[in-house]
Chains A and B, each alone.
Chain A
Amino acid sequence: MKLKYIIAVIALVSCTGFAQELLTNVTWNIGIPVSKTNQYVTDVTYRGFTIAGRKFIDNENSVGFMTGWNVFDEKSTEPINVDYGNGSGTISGTQVRSINAFPLLVGIHHHYGNKKDMRAFIGLNAGMYYILQRLDIGVYRFDNDNWHFGLAPEAGLLIPVGEENTIFYIGARYNYAFDSGTALGGAENNFYSYWELNFGFAFSSRWF
């Protein structure tokens, strides 16, 4: 199943190789966990990056691929409540909670504005997320890793720097990895969601 998705991603990216214009970008990410993800790790993370490439199929539209890594983690002393059968319990102790998210997405983007000026874009990415959720408590470690299908709509700005094809990239992306596998602790729905703010540089094979 996983192999099927990987082959689909590679095939889609390969097809775009015939397009002439290539925009590659590397960004540093600020990650903001939301919804259920925020209940596990609340801290904003400054440790993340994205590497992406887009091939333009005309002046305004592109298809592309992106991957990256975001690490959410924090130290917590919040007690953990557990329910089982006819009983319940509380576990307390210092915890280090972390979530590592690795997206592997393909996307389509639409760009607005003149090629040589600042351009805005909107896009939708879809693909797989490998997510490792970890709980360290006491001397014990609990890991839960799953592949999730996910969507990542995004918007941003491409701001040319200087007179060549170097572009300052600023964007915001919402990541939603759908329910997959069993959640750490046995909660019913194992989905993850987080926002990213992306800052970096894009390099184009041509002027926009």
Chain B
Amino acid sequence: MRKIKQIKLLLILILFSVVTLLLTSCYPDYGLTTSDYDIVATFKEDANDFQAYKTDGANFYMPDSIKRILDNNGLVSGSTGQYDAQILAEIERQMIAYGYTRVNNTQDADVFVTVGATSSENIVYYPGYWYGWYGWYYPWYGYGGYAYSYTTGSLFVTMIDKSKIDEVNKITGAVWAGAANGVLDDTQANILTRVINSIDKMFEQSPYLKIIE
């Protein structure tokens, strides 16, 4: 009888060990790298016929600078970024590859392409057990909290159809928008590569923009 109880106990222990082992890895480390935190989103106005630019005109005007939007008040700063030239060059390259022609003045343009950027510092603070139920009474039971910060950057590319701008009714005429977001805590070389890849991704996942075969 005693032996049977021991076997039963052993079986329970084995099963609980297996279950515990499996559950401690509930959220496995997927080996994510910084670039895995990059996301690219694109949006379009469904009613807009992008193929119409083939006949109606496919000239685009893009300013030579990137507007930097201040995180705390939404105003635009006059500062420039280290890679602004490369970013604008890549957007131009993609637009030309899709059949558009860059022009240097707004009068000749059919669409405007505006580029904006913003960055923000995110602080994560986990107080640990100190602020828990017993924190005030048995502080020696507490286990440490932690804090860290990371900076994210976002790039916004917007295509505006000049013919759809309606200043009276405050309609911007935006027909397409691309946004890229990622962590900026990386080497400078990697940041540039990731931003360029994100711009390429914006166009890759927007094939409807393409107006040449």
Contact = CB atoms under 8 A, between A and B. Distances in A.
Interface string B1-42: 100100110011001101100110111101010001111111
B183 interface: yes
Interface in A152-166: 161-164, 166
Contacts of A27: 15
Label chain B's interface by main secondary structure: mixed
Interface string A123-151: 00000000000000111100000000000
A93 B44 contact: no
Contact of B41 (A49, A75, A89): A89
B205 A164 contact: no
Given A47-B23, A47-B25, A75-B30, 7 more contacts: A27-B15, A28-B19, A47-B22, A69-B23, A94-B37, A137-B39, A201-B11
Interface in A69-115: 69, 71, 73, 75, 79, 82, 86-94, 96, 98
Interface string B172-213: 000000000111000000000000000001000110000000
A88 B7 CA distance: 61
A166 B22 contact: no
25 contacts: A26-B15, A26-B16, A28-B15, A28-B18, A28-B22, A47-B22, A49-B19, A71-B26, A73-B26, A73-B27, A79-B205, A82-B43, A88-B44, A90-B41, A91-B41, A93-B38, A93-B40, A98-B27, A138-B39, A138-B181, A139-B122, A140-B39, A161-B11, A162-B4, A166-B4
A203 interface: yes
Nearest to A100: B26
A96 B30 CA distance: 8
B118 interface: no
Interface residues of B, number: 39
B108 interface: no
Interface of B: 1, 4, 7-8, 11-12, 15-16, 18-19, 22-23, 25-28, 30, 32, 36-47, 122, 150, 152, 181-183, 201, 205-206
A94 B205 contact: no
A164 B1 CA distance: 8
A75 to B, nearest CB: 5
B47 A92 contact: no
Contacts of A47: 22-23, 25-26
A201 B36 CA distance: 41
Contact of A138 (B4, B12, B37, B46): B37
A92 B205 contact: yes
Given A164-B4, A201-B11, A201-B12, A90 B42 contact: yes
Interface residues of A, number: 36
In order of increasing CB-CB distance, the 6 nearest A-B pairs are A93-B39, A89-B43, A138-B39, A94-B36, A164-B4, A91-B41
A137 B181 CA distance: 11
A93 B1 CA distance: 59
A89 B8 contact: no
Contacts of B30: 75, 96
A105 B7 CA distance: 30
A93 B206 CA distance: 15
Contacts of A91: 39-41
Nearest to A163: B4
Nearest to A25: B15
Contact of A46 (B16, B22, B39, B183): B22
Contact of A88 (B36, B40, B43, B152): B43
B38 A166 contact: no
A73 B29 CA distance: 11
A28 B201 CA distance: 42
